[in-house]
Chains A and B, each alone.
Chain A
Amino acid sequence: MTQLANYFASIGRTTIEKVVAIGQASLMLFGALFAFPKVKNIGLTIHQIYVVGVQSLLIIMVSGLFIGMVMALQGYTILVNYGAEGSLGPMVALSLLRELGPVVTALLFAGRAGSALTAEIGLMKATEQLSSLEMMAVDPLRRVIAPRFWAGVISMPMLAIIFSAIGILGGHLVGVDWLGVDSGSYWSIMQSTVEWDKDVVNGIIKSIVFALVVVWIALYKGYSCVPTSEGISQATTQTVVYSSLLILGLDFILTALMFGIS
């Protein structure tokens, strides 16, 4: 009987802890959203765009190139059976713009920039830098969290666009230059098939949603971690795991809403 009671008590305790955590995370998000950096601090946001955005460029570009190349290779071997290799262009472009661009960029961003953000904020907490900011009457949400938040949200859609563009070029490299698909049909069928608002804009919307989720999780996990080496390592892992799962889950929901039922 007591075991059963303990079992329910532990379920209750975990639920309360989770609800409290969600509440705290929402408060932090609220604080960051409404603490758009002061004009004086705009330099901090630009610096963070450099750190989380520009410094992620290499991994994004290389990954985009290879994914585009693989897509073209795989697509060609299937399409050529039906004599439809002319549709390689739209196949590569649509897959990248609608799905792979936003999703893979977000996954890479979570691993490259998200984990770094969590570790950085966690270490700032462990070394009492966040406390000392508070004691100096400087709000860490405004000074530390908000610039990183906005930098992430601004950078990720741009990275996704670059990813897709490089991927399409990678597809061209393999499909046209190597396998001999006609360059004219690669570009012209792509142009006539890809729709601006349905494909490009929806991809960007996805990317913005993923950016919000990844940066929010990364910053909250850092801000709320247990300030020990173990706590920081756990928080960093959780950032990558939770972000990845949420990106994939949300991608399904967004795809269903955008393309599912017409």
Chain B
Amino acid sequence: MTKVVEITNMHFTRGERTIYENISLSVAKGGITAIMGPSGIGKTTLLKIIGGQLVPNSGDVIFQGENVHKVSRSRLYEMRRKMSMLFQSGALFTNMSVFDNVAFPLREHTKLDESIISTIVKLKLEAVGLRGALGLMPSELSGGMARRAALARAIALDPDLIMYDEPFAGQDPISMGVLVELIKTLNKALDLTSIVVTHDVSEVLEIADYAYIMANKTIIGAGTPEEIKNSDSPLVRQFLNGDADGPVPFHYNAESLQDDLLAVN
């Protein structure tokens, strides 16, 4: 199967802190790949690395056969037109209406007539169920609506790859259900490839074709949702069951409590 994204032996540090050690993963064309892991391990960072916004210390990140970090800046910008990212906050431009937000990439990158842009924008908003909200400003939208509007903007240029950064975080059950359904339908209808970064295990495993679990700076489990659910790795089990303590410790690295309290200054 063709790979849209392929990461090999990638190493990334931020300051003196190592975020990833020797990570390899691949994303198959046409599928939904889930990347799961506890908060704060740098899942968003991974998406920014794929998008070329951050540069890894070593290793290769290949998108559609080209190394994202070795191409020229102008080529990288061309490649980015084929990938799209849905930010956790939606990242809508607060000074523009929903319509203008969705029209933004079209106006920037195409020379289409305003009437055609208007038609495309309405169709994209219809796909996420927000055609009625096209005149609203981002501040007038609920969190879930803002994310859907941002999703319409993300698919405006018909990208090949779409990366979802924590799409379900902070959503009520209805919005969450809507988003899960949207990701699934859009992926199929627009022949997309999707990467969903999340810690909402049950939702994403329903729609994912393949999943990776990350913890401790590396990938601790990979496979189809079935394989993941049946995994006997203690790390994977802890993550799936949501146990407070286990291979991923409850306590942040520290000396023993006794030493700390009894230490003489």
Residues of A near any B CB (own CB < 8 A):
127-129, 131-132, 134-139, 143
Do the beta carbons of A136 and B105 come within 8 Å of each other? yes
List, sorted by A's number, 16 A–B pairs whose CB atoms are closer than 8 Å.
Answer: A127-B91, A128-B89, A129-B91, A129-B92, A129-B94, A131-B48, A131-B53, A131-B87, A134-B51, A134-B53, A135-B53, A135-B84, A136-B105, A136-B108, A137-B77, A137-B105
> A135–B108 contact, CB under 8 A?
no
Top 9 closest A-B pairs, CB basis?
A: A132-B91, A137-B80, A128-B91, A135-B85, A137-B77, A128-B87, A137-B81, A136-B105, A138-B108
Chain A proximity mask over B51-90: 1 for CB below 8 Å, otherwise 0: 1010000000000000000000000011011011101110
Seen from chain B, the residues whose Cβ lies within 8 Å of a Cβ on chain A are 48, 51, 53, 77-78, 80-81, 83-85, 87-89, 91-94, 104-105, 108-109, 150, 153
- B residues in contact with A134, CB < 8 Å: 51, 53, 80
B193 to chain A, nearest CB (A): 16
| A139 and B74 alpha carbons, distance in the complex (Å) | 10
Report the nearest A residue to B47, measured CB to CB: A135
| A10: min CB distance to chain B, Å | 15
B80 touches A132 (CB 8 A): no
Residues in A whose Cβ lies below 8 Å from that of B53: 131, 134-135
For the complex, give the distance between the alpha carbons of A132 and B83 in Å.
12
> Which residues in A have their C-beta under 8 angstroms from that of B48?
131
Out of A131, A137, A143, which one reaches B91, CB within 8 Å? A131
Q: Which residue of A has the minimal Cβ distance to B111?
A: A40
Residues of A within 8 A of B83 (CB): 135
Query: Which A residues are in CB contact (< 8 Å) with B94?
Result: 127, 129
Known: A128-B88, A135-B85. 11 other contacts (CB 8 A): A127-B94, A131-B87, A131-B91, A135-B51, A135-B53, A135-B80, A136-B104, A136-B108, A137-B105, A137-B109, A139-B77
Nearest chain-A residue to B78 (Cβ)? Answer: A137
Tell me, in angstroms, the Cα distance from A143 to B83 when the chains sit together: 20
- Which residue, A138, A139, A143, has most C-beta atoms of chain B within 10 A? A138
In Å, the complex CA distance between A132 and B80 comes to 11
Name the residue of chain A whose CB is nearest to the CB of B53. Answer: A134
With both chains docked as a complex, state the minimum distance between the C-beta of A51 and any C-beta of chain B, in angstroms: 11
Q: A65: shortest Cβ distance to chain B, in Å? A: 33
Which residue of A has the minimal Cβ distance to B80? A137
Cα(A138)–Cα(B109), bound, Å: 9
A127 cross-chain contacts in B, Cβ below 8 A: 89, 91, 94
Report Cα–Cα, A135/B156, bound state, in Å: 13
Which one of A132, A138, A139 lies within 8 Å of B87 (CB-CB)?
Answer: A132
Expressed in whole angstroms, the Cα–Cα distance for A132 and B48 within the complex equals 10
Is A132 a contact of B85 with CB atoms below 8 Å? Answer: yes
CA distance A131 to B49 in the complex (A): 12
- Complex CA gap A134/B91 in Å reads 12
Q: Which residues of B contact A131 (CB under 8 A)?
A: 48, 53, 87, 91
What's the Cα separation between A74 and B85 when bound, in Å? Answer: 62
Complex CA gap A131/B154 in Å reads: 13
Distance of B105 from chain A, by nearest CB (Å): 5
When chains A and B are docked, how far (Å) is the Cα of A131 from the Cα of B88?
Answer: 12
Chain A neighbourhood of B89, CB < 8 A = 127-128
* Residues of A close to B153: CB separation below 8 A: 136
Give complex CA distance A3, B88 in Å: 44
The interface residues of chain A lying within 8 Å CB-to-CB of B109 are 137
Cα of A137 to Cα of B109 in the assembled complex, Å:
9
Residue of B with least CB distance to A134? B53
Q: Separation in Å of the B67 CB from the closest CB of chain A?
A: 17
Query: How far in angstroms is the closest Cβ of chain A from B234?
Result: 35
Assembled-state Cα–Cα distance A135/B105 (Å):
10
User: Chain A residues with Cβ under 8 A from B80's Cβ?
Assistant: 134-137
> B residues within 8 A CB of A139?
77
In the assembled complex, which residues on chain B have CB atoms less than 8 Å from the CB atom of A129?
A: 91-94
| C-alpha gap A134/B78 in the complex (Å) | 11
Chain A neighbourhood of B84, CB < 8 A: 135-136
